[in-house]
Chain A
Amino acid sequence: MVKIAFASMNGGGLEDVIADRFGRAPVFTIVELDEQGNILNVKVIENPGASASSGAGVKSVQALVNEGVDIAVGPNFGPNAQVILEEMNIKAVRIPAGTKIADALEKVKKEVLGL
């Protein structure tokens, strides 16, 4: 089982697209997959980093740690987020902003998970 969080531009979900920034993305779409890559669950959480005055990246990572996320997908990651993701054992994957979440999921399945 693996949990993947996608920084999402609008309301989240598989039809939404990757946000412009990771730490300031409004929401995260969290997709849970089984060993074969079948979707077990899709949920959307608010990003506490979106409205943070400082340390947005860290607050975002905290939300993902709390959800038990294994892979974080965003267009790019700030220096704080990058270091903390690595420290927290969450793999950071870069996929361009505007990419449909469903397409981004396929890319992660193929290129990162080898499914």
Chain B
Amino acid sequence: MKAKISVTGGKGGTGKSTIAVNLATLIARERKLVLADLDVEAPNDHVLLNASLENEEPVEIMLPFIVYPKCTRCGVCAQVCDTGAIILTREKLPFVIPRLCSGCRACYYACPYDAIVEGKRIIGYTYKTQVKIDDTVFTLVTGVLREGEEHTPPVVLAARKRAMSLAEDLLLVDTSAGTANHVSIALEDSKLVLAVTEPTPLGLHDLELILELSSTLGLESWVIVNRSTIGDISKVEEVAQKYNARIVAKIPYSREIVESYVKGVPIVELYPNHPISQSLQALAKTVLEVI
């Protein structure tokens, strides 16, 4: 892999995935690209690209099994468990609650009596799909957390690893909303972070959080203002300036982008001459120049 670019933004629904699939389509015309959808709780790049999830691989984490004949009821396993996945019964026997277990192995290492053996549990899946839009081809890697599971990082890590092993040239990452642990894992090692926001109070608030995270990770950030016409953009400019992040694109609110959603075709393919497509083309060009 030569370089990794990440699309993020803090607030949900700002258009991260829309920007990601459009940029992917444009960049893939010039370079070899892998797009990684690391929004494992709600991955939807494949929906926007009208592609199906293929080549499934399970994501497994360690699940402790208690060997009761060896257990002395010392309770150390429950003490070291950070997620509360081990409860001691009235008889002081450890009882594992699989859904709360993050697979960290602390109990396995802490047990002085080798009374814990390693089992496995599937908490999600990764997928690899060849996306073909006219003559443009790229690989989409998607991470999916299983319904009801709480621990996203192992699935993000597995999808990231699969995408990196497939990316010979460029890797474009689409993160989830927020600034949680699984977002920093997705952003790590990015050459460039593209923060998608919108000129609303919440968009602004979350932009500041994501720029703070990005700068903590020592990454360079650019800002993309989506729906730029719906609010006061000067405040976005202030926040961007504070973090030395330049605003590289302003994308107006438009009906055609909704149409591209409905059809499952990126707007840069559907309406190549639309002002939005033009600003995205300019953005892709700038990104490629820097990379």
Contact = CB atoms under 8 A, between A and B. Distances in A.
A88 B97 contact: no
Nearest to B95: A87
A84 interface: yes
Interface of B: 78, 82-85, 87-90, 95, 97, 99-100, 150
B87 A58 contact: yes
Given A80-B100, A84-B97, A87-B95, A58 B85 contact: yes
A59 interface: yes
A26 to B, nearest CB: 18
Contacts of B87: 58, 61-62, 65, 84, 88
Interface stretch (A5-13, A38-46, A48-56, A96-104): A48-56
B89 A58 contact: no
A56 B84 CA distance: 7
B202 to A, nearest CB: 24
Given A59-B84, A88-B95, 7 more contacts: A53-B82, A55-B97, A58-B100, A65-B90, A80-B100, A83-B97, A88-B87
A84 B85 CA distance: 11
The 8 tightest CB contacts between A and B, nearest first, are A55-B84, A58-B84, A59-B84, A55-B100, A55-B83, A62-B87, A54-B83, A58-B87
Nearest to A58: B84
Contacts of A49: 84
Contacts of B84: 49, 52, 54-59, 62
Contact of B90 (A54, A57, A88): A88
12 contacts: A52-B84, A54-B83, A54-B84, A54-B100, A56-B84, A57-B84, A58-B87, A58-B97, A62-B87, A62-B88, A80-B97, A87-B95
A92 B150 CA distance: 24
Interface of A: 49, 52-59, 61-62, 65-66, 68, 80, 83-84, 87-89
A88 B85 contact: no
B86 to A, nearest CB: 9
Contacts of A58: 84-85, 87, 97, 100
Contacts of A62: 78, 84, 87-88
Contacts, number: 44
A61 B87 CA distance: 8
Nearest to A54: B83
A81 to B, nearest CB: 10
Nearest to B85: A55
Given A55-B100, A84-B97, A65 B150 contact: no
Contacts of B97: 55, 58, 80, 83-84
User: Which of the listed residues A52, A57, A62 has the most CB atoms from chain B within 10 Å of its own CB?
Assistant: A62
A1 to B, nearest CB: 15
A80 B86 CA distance: 12
Given A58-B97, A80-B100, A65 B85 contact: no
